[in-house]
Structure 1
Amino acid sequence: MSANTAPILRIEALAEIPANLRGCVVAIGNFDGVHRGHQAVLQEALDEAANHSVPAVLLTFEPHPRTVFKPEAPVFRLTPAPLKARLAAAMGFSAVIELPFTREFAQKTAETFVDEVLVEGLAIRHVVTGFNFHFGRQRQGSPEFLSAAGERRGFGVTVVEPYRDENAELVSSSRIRACLREGDVVQAAGLLGYHYTVEATVLKGKQLGRTLGFPTANMALPAEAGLRTGIYAVRFGREHGSHRDGVASFGYRPTVDNEGGPLLETYIFDFEGDLYDEPCSVAFISHLRDEVKFDGLDPLAEQMKRDAGEARAALQAIRPLSTLDQVVAFG
């Protein structure tokens, strides 16, 4: 696996596909999480592309289909489109095609999808997908359907079998979401192959942390984010790639105001500077404690000192889990 950090070409329409990508090997799926199971699919596509000396392209859909069909209950995204693109670039893909997913698009037959997207749009040499990927109206496009279509239309098909961890348990996005709901970011990292990471723009807050001696970079996560509230040891990343250790609070600030949605507030160790309006990332290393309401600001400040010390200790010996982790959490 490579560790490319250059920006990747992101395409939202078939008409935008450049000529040099036609004849590519394509990996198809939602790939939410880009976890170790997904990485097995993606690596198979990269290997196939290298064998044919053609580009490797990741084909995915935005927004997540479950959010389209159930807008009242949007899915907790593990890797929104920008982060997914960064991970694809780090693995060595030439481009990510983010096809707009709508109810109208969902009504296309599996045969139409093959014709319009894979054959006419991309002129694919080979397609790689996971064992449980389905496409087309009423999910009629199964892996078996895709294999038969490849035989008719002249492209190869590889279906990657389920990926299991060291305990023979299936690695899945739903399993990772369950870990994050419990605050078990260590197990989530083991399943992802890198530390769970969020990206957002730094907001200007009430600057209370500054008055307490702990200035924080504040970020709002999507309302559907399913991460357990609490205090975490983290790695904070800036847009240009540098990363620093820190301690972060994710939650509702019960001691201060307990108003509004959950906020991610990160105190970055040994840092001074203005981060307002800058897109940044936070990689979660360990969960230190749950969110607690204190009897005033003084005991809150004392606990923040203890949290910072515990986070420094937790982060002292931390090392990248993989080349992807090097990109998202260490830079």
Structure 2
Amino acid sequence: MRIIRDYSFVTDQDRGAAAAIGNFDGVHLGHQSVIDLTRAIAKEKGVPLGIMSFEPHPRQFFAPKSSAFRLMSAEARAHRLEKLGVERLYELPFNATLSALSPKDFAAKVIRDGLGLNHIVVGADFCFGQGRKGDIEDLIRFGADMGFGVTVAELLHGDKGEVSSTAIRDALAEGRPRDAQAMLGHWHRMDGEVIGGDQRGRELGYPTANMSIDGLHQPKMGVYAVLIDVLDGPHKGNYHGAASLGVRPMFGENKPNLETFIFDFKGDLYGTPISVGLVEYLRPEAKFDSLEALIRQMDTDCAKARDLLAAL
């Protein structure tokens, strides 16, 4: 997959794609249905399959001090899109210049002249241009005038209603990772490099791979049964484990992070990229009367997580 980050400098090999437009946060089943529709159009036309997205997310641009809401980082999103067969990712910088384009200028300068897209696919609720003034009817009209096709994908609904990033965030915030999985089509994953910690887990007999969750939507704090993918290095592979997401109340005031104990694992993962999938919420964080009580609870947590993950 090729990633293009500037619509002003696009090579001939990266022009002419059929591309779906959206933020694709989480790459959930609704997003995947739009990608499947775009794939069919790209195949029919004999052109590359593309995605046009934005970095940072427009919500981050307009409200930089708002609480973290993203389900995945740009790197994790790109990795997921590549797995789905996307050939061109147009990850455009969302800045003052782009946000100030009128709907017509966005269609002309970005879609037609900049990226030279052959066809675009958007969701039924798509709006674009300065102040989100452009709607589907505008886009179809611009496409007819400017020479690109437009297909509108219907919103996907599941058993619990519309599949959306907002609904997934709600499920995670309430400690319902299986409901989130039903909308995502995959376990919700938190990706990042293993960072150094206080090594208290090692002292307790539970060494953990620690990860920052800065910039990501925060699921309900507590202990989870998890699936771990070590993405690179000599220990690359898939593992089971238990993870604590939170502030570690036994040890004072701490910044929230994710601490993952990998079952039956020995090795150094510092600096290694890993992906932790949340499978089952086991319990909330708690402050225990003693370290011995904490260790007994960790023993119970891990035994329960082993049984749950073995049944998958």
TM-score range, shorter chain: over 0.9
Q: C-alpha displacement at 1:183, in angstroms?
A: 1.0
1:270 corresponds to which residue? 264
Return the match for 1:196 from 182, 188, 196: 188
Displacement, 1:224? 5.4
- Give the gaps of 5 or more residues in structure 2: none
1:212 deviates by 1.1
Give the counterpart letter for 2:280 in structure 1. S
Match of 1:246 in 2: 241
Please give the alpha-carbon distance, in whole angstroms, between the structure 1 residues aligned to 2:172 and 2:141.
39
72, 94, 103: which is aligned to 2:87? Answer: 94
Give the equivalent residue in structure 2 for 1:77. 70
Q: Which residue of 2 aligns with 1:328?
A: none
CA pair 74-107 structure 1, distance change in 2 beyond 3 A: farther
3-state SS of the aligned residue for 1:183?
coil
Q: Map residues 124-135 of structure 1 onto 2, 5 A cutoff.
A: 124-135=117-128
Task: Percent identity, please.
Answer: 40
Cα distance, 1:172 vs structure 2: 0.9
Letter in 2 for 1:27: A
- Counterpart of 1:3 in structure 2 is none
TM-score when scaled to structure 2? 0.96
- Counterpart of 2:224? 232
In structure 1, the partner of 2:301 is 307
In structure 2, what is the Cα distance between the partners aligned to 1:197 and 1:217?
A: 15
Shift of 1:40: 1.1
Alignment of 1:1-331 (within 5 A): 8-167=1-160, 169-222=161-214, 225-240=217-232, 242-255=237-250, 257-318=251-312
TM-score (norm 1): 0.90
Shift of 1:17: 2.8
Q: How far apart in 1 are the matches of 2:195 and 2:143?
A: 49
Q: In structure 2, how many angstroms separate the alpha carbons of the residues matched to 1:26 and 1:224?
A: 26
Q: Secondary structure of the equivalent of 2:187?
A: coil
Distance 2:252 2:57 in 1: 31
Asked whether the 8 Å contact 2:99–2:130 carries over to 1, the reply is: yes
Question: Alignment partner of 1:191: what SS?
Answer: helix
Would you say the 8 A contact 1:183–1:227 is kept in 2?
Answer: yes
Q: Contact between 1:74 and 1:224, CA under 8 Å: does it hold in 2?
A: no
Deviation at 1:100, TM superposition (A): 0.7
For 1:260 and 1:223, the matched residues in 2 are separated by 17
Q: Give the letter aligned to residue 283 of structure 2.
A: R
1:221-245 Cα shifts (integer Å, max 9, x gaps)? 0155321100000011112351100
SS at match of 2:157: coil
**Distance between the aligned counterparts of 2:188 and 2:252, measured in 1?**
26
Contact 1:69 1:103 (8 Å CA) reproduced: no
> Distance in 2 between the 1:72 and 1:38 partners?
27
Residue identity in the other structure for 2:241:
G
SS of aligned partner of 1:78? coil
The residue type paired with residue 174 of structure 1 is T
Give secondary structure in 2 for the equivalent of 1:31: coil
How far does the alpha carbon of each residue in 1:24-78 deviate from its partner, in whole angstroms, 9 at most, with x for none? 1011011111111111111111110011111011100011111111111044101
Amino acid at match of 1:266: T
> Aligned equivalents of 1:87 and 1:218: distance in 2?
22
Secondary structure, counterpart of 1:235 in structure 2: strand
Kindly state the Cα deviation for residue 90 of structure 1 after the two structures are TM-superposed.
Answer: 1.1
Cα distance in structure 2, aligned partners of 1:125 and 1:265: 46
DSSP 3-state at the match of 1:272: coil
Unaligned runs of at least 5 residues, structure 1: 1-7, 319-331
Q: Distance in 2 between matches of 1:201 and 1:86?
A: 15
* In 1, Cα distance between equivalents of 2:79 and 2:59: 23
Would you say how many aligned residue pairs link Structure 1 and Structure 2?
309
Bigger shift: 302-311 or 137-146? 137-146
Tell me, in whole angstroms, the C-alpha distance in 1 between the residues paired with 2:22 and 2:217. 21
CA distance in 2, matches of 1:278, 1:22: 35
Q: 1:223 to 1:121 in 2, by over 3 A?
A: closer
Code of the residue aligned with 2:305 in structure 1: it is A
